[in-house]
Amino acid sequence: MAIDVGAAILAGGAGRRMGGVVKALIEVEGVAILDRQLAVLRQLCTEIAIAGGDPAQLGGRGVPVLADAVPGAGPLAGIAAALAASRALHVLCVACDMPYLDPAVLRQLCAAAAPGVDAVVPIVDGRPLPVCTVYARSCLELILDRLDRGQRRASDVVADSRLRVVSIQFHAEPSFRNVNTPDDLR
C-alpha cells in the first residue's frame, strides 16, 4: 500500500572512494543498487525520482532524473531538487549506495511524517543519518539558503534548531548499510 510521501534516490555523488564508478549502478547480489531501491520504494510511494546523476546512465526506469539544485554540492543539492520537484508534502530521501533498504524500516520513518514535522531522522547507533531521512517541503527554503552560503552538510540541516525534527532510534540495522568503498562490497 502506497503512503502519501514522495521518494527520491540521491544519486549525484562522484563515487571517488569507489574509483569514480556510479554507485547507484553497482551490482549487489546480481542487481544494481538503484534497481533494488526502486523495487522497495515502489512498494511504499507513488511518486519517486532520482536526484542527481547522469540521465543517460540512470534514466529509463520509469522515474524522472532531476538535476541537483547546485551541481557538485553533495546530497543536500539532491535533497533540494527532490523537494522542489515533489507534489508530496514530505519526501523520503535515500542515498543511492544503500542496497538493503527494508520497507518496514522506511514505512516507520514515513509514518512519523505529519503536518508540522519538518524532518524524520533515523538515529543509527547514536548518529543521525540525514541521507535516509523524510524531509518536509517546508525545509526547502532553509536548504536553498544553506546551499547559497556554500554549506553542504545535510547533517547540519537536520540539527538546525529552527526545524521540528522527529528522531527514531535504530541499532545496526542492515537497511542503513551503505557501499562507499570496495571493502564495503565484500
List the domains of the chain with CATH numbers. 6-177 (3.90.550.10)
Half-sphere exposure of 77 (CA within 13 A, CB side): 20
CA distance 7 to 131: 12
In this predicted structure, which of 15-29, 34-48, 134-148 has the lowest mean pLDDT? 15-29
Query: Pairing state of beta strands 119-124 and 90-95?
Result: unpaired
Q: 8-29: per-residue pLDDT in tens?
A: 999 987 666 656 688 999 999 9
C-alpha gyration radius of the chain: 15
Q: 79-137: per-residue pLDDT in tens?
A: 999 999 999 999 999 999 999 999 999 999 999 999 999 999 999 989 999 999 999 99
pTM: 0.93
In 10 A of CB 183, how many CB atoms?
8
